[in-house]
Amino acid sequence: MSAIADLLNTEKPFAQDAHPALDPRDRGGPLQPLLKVEGLTKHFALKGGPFDRKRQVVRAVDGIDFTVAKGETLGIVGESGCGKSTTARLLMHLVKPDAGTIVLDGDPVGGVRGVTIAEMRRQVQMVFQDSYASLNPRMPLADGIAFGPRANGVRSLEARTRAHELLSLVGLAPERFAERYPHEISGGQRQRVNIARALAMHPRLVILDEAVSALDKSVEAQTLNLLIALRARLRLTCIFISHDLNVVQFISDRVLVMYLGKVVEVGPVDRLYAKPAHPYTAALLASRPSMDPRRRVTKPPLQGDPPNPINPPSGCRFRTRCPIASAVCAEREPVLLSLEPNGGHAVACHARIPGSGHINPVHAA
């Protein structure tokens, strides 16, 4: 009997076995978003000599807003360089934001009021992409998992017990794996250990930054299924970052699309995938390879080169590759606005906004 099937069948309560809003750390009830991000910005300065007149910056993340509700999984997609990973690191404060606010369950993070960064880190954890580099090569697996709890005051014995529990939770028998070293197990197993390590802190929010991207396809499927089982069991709230649209569709409730440091569209997964509102989203979805021989593409859906994050185009950043760009797109940046009154599906595109001056406005059907 597989350990994962055990997971769902057992009656044994796990520490977080409750609705996330019933978590003792909960402050705002089920309707308050667990995470609210406003205007998050990070620019990286490029190193030039002291004699460089123009100091160049990479505008990695340029004022993004989004929320994550309790218990939901938000998928973040975009091409390489769009700022997804930087966003993840900004959320964890591994990189200091240049501007913007992060609000965790109603409390601003890092400011004078609200929660401290250390406290935030006890509630938000991250699983990285490189499974090997994420584990200390000189530390046995169980110790690596137990480190976080121990560093936060949990006694050694209890931390070790927790580590063993987590190892079995992710499908790695503690008797065999607790004392192993990272180089002695496979990539898929390592990523499970990383997941266990992230869960050891009993986080309220788990950020998965390309967590399955580096794995072989079959192992990726196993790991995704594990994540889904864990999520259901532990009622986790997740942010799932990936460039793989199919994976994001499989695992997310809502999806956010990023382009060159900005949010271009966000909405429920089924709606967004069926009827994408932003031309970039549409192009991304159209460029997925299909097994259907009738769906052949002769022209690539996206034309042109990806622009430079150092000097993004004026106005709407996508306009240089957009099939429906018009004059107004070069003048003004489109603002993220809801397509319908209840605000579920929002898009940042002049064509979708009536009265924006776009030549061919398309109203959401």
Partner 1 sequence: MSQSIAISAGAATSAQPARRLTYWAGVRRRLRHDPTTVICCVILLVILLAAIFAPLVAPHDPFRTSMIRRLLPPGSPNFLLGTDELGRDMLSRLIYGGRISLVMGLMPVGLATLIGGALGILAGYLGGGWNMLIMRVMDVFYAFPSVLLAVAISGALGAGPGNGLIALTLVFIAPMARVSESVTTQVRNEDFVEAARATGAAAWRIMLEHILPNVLGPILIYSSSLISVSIVLASGLSFLGLGVAPPNPEWGLMLNTLRQAIYIAPINAVLPGVMIFTTSMCFNLMSDGLRSAMDVKS
Partner 2 sequence: MLSYIVRRVTYALPIAIGVTILCFLLIHLAPGDPLSAVLPDNASPEMRRQLAALYAFDQPLPVQYFIWLKRILVGDFGISIQSRRPVIGEILPAIQNTFILATAAVAIGFPVGILLGAIAGFVNGTALDRVVTSIAVTGVSVPHYWLGMVLVVVFAVNLNMLPAMGMSPSGSGNYALNWEHLQHIILPAITLAVIPAAIIARSVRGTVADIRQREFVGTLYSKGLRPSRILLHVAKNAGPTVLAVAGLQLAQLLGGSILVETVFSWPGSGFLLNSAIFTRDLPILQGTILILALLFVMINLLVDVMQTMLDPRIKRS
Binding stretches for partner 2 (CB under 8 A): 49-51
**Which residues make beta-bridge pairs with 266?**
256, 346
10 binds partner 1 (CB under 8 A): no
Q: Please, what is the minimum distance in Å from the beta carbon of residue 47 to partner 2?
A: 9
Give every strand in the sheet of 99-104, ordered side by side: 57-68, 35-45, 99-104, 107-108
222 binds partner 1 (CB under 8 A): yes
Q: Which residues contact 284 (CB under 8 A, 6 or more apart)?
A: 77, 79, 245, 257, 276, 301, 302
Closest CA to 235 of 204, 208, 209, 207: 204
51 contact, one of partner 1, partner 2, none, CB 5-8 Å limit per kind: partner 2
Residue nearer to partner 2 on the CB measure, 49 or 153 = 49
Q: Please, what is the minimum distance in Å from the beta carbon of residue 223 to partner 1?
A: 9
> Which of the stretches 38-46, 179-187, 234-242, 320-328 binds partner 1 when contact is defined by CB under 8 A?
179-187
362 binds partner 1 (CB under 8 A): no
Q: Please, what is the minimum distance in Å from the beta carbon of residue 2 to partner 1?
A: 4
Residue list 181-200, contact with partner 1 (CB under 8 A): 181, 183-186, 188-189, 192, 194, 197
Measure the CA–CA gap between 230 and 307, rounded to whole angstroms: 39
Phi, psi of 220 (to 5 degrees): -60, -45
Residue nearer to partner 1 on the CB measure, 218 or 360 = 218
Residue list 129-168, contact with partner 1 (CB under 8 A): 130, 133-139, 144, 147-148, 151-152
Measure the CA–CA gap between 240 and 247, rounded to whole angstroms: 9
8 binds partner 1 (CB under 8 A): yes
Residue list 228-247, contact with partner 1 (CB under 8 A): 228-229, 232
Neighbours of 329 (CB within 10 A): 26
**How do strand 262-268 and strand 205-209 relate by DSSP bridges?**
unpaired
Residue 6: what residue type?
D
**How do strand 205-209 and strand 237-242 relate by DSSP bridges?**
parallel
Closest CA to 338 of 279, 284, 263, 273: 263
Measure the CA–CA gap between 298 and 311, rounded to whole angstroms: 31
Q: How far is CA 183 from the centre of its chain?
A: 27
- Binding residues with partner 1: total (CB under 8 A): 54
75 contact, one of partner 2, partner 1, none, CB 5-8 Å limit per kind: none
Could you list the residues that contact partner 1 (CB under 8 A)? Answer: 1-5, 8, 92, 94, 117-119, 121-122, 125-126, 128, 130, 133-139, 144, 147-148, 151-152, 171-173, 176-177, 179-181, 183-186, 188-189, 192, 194, 197, 201, 221-222, 225-226, 228-229, 232
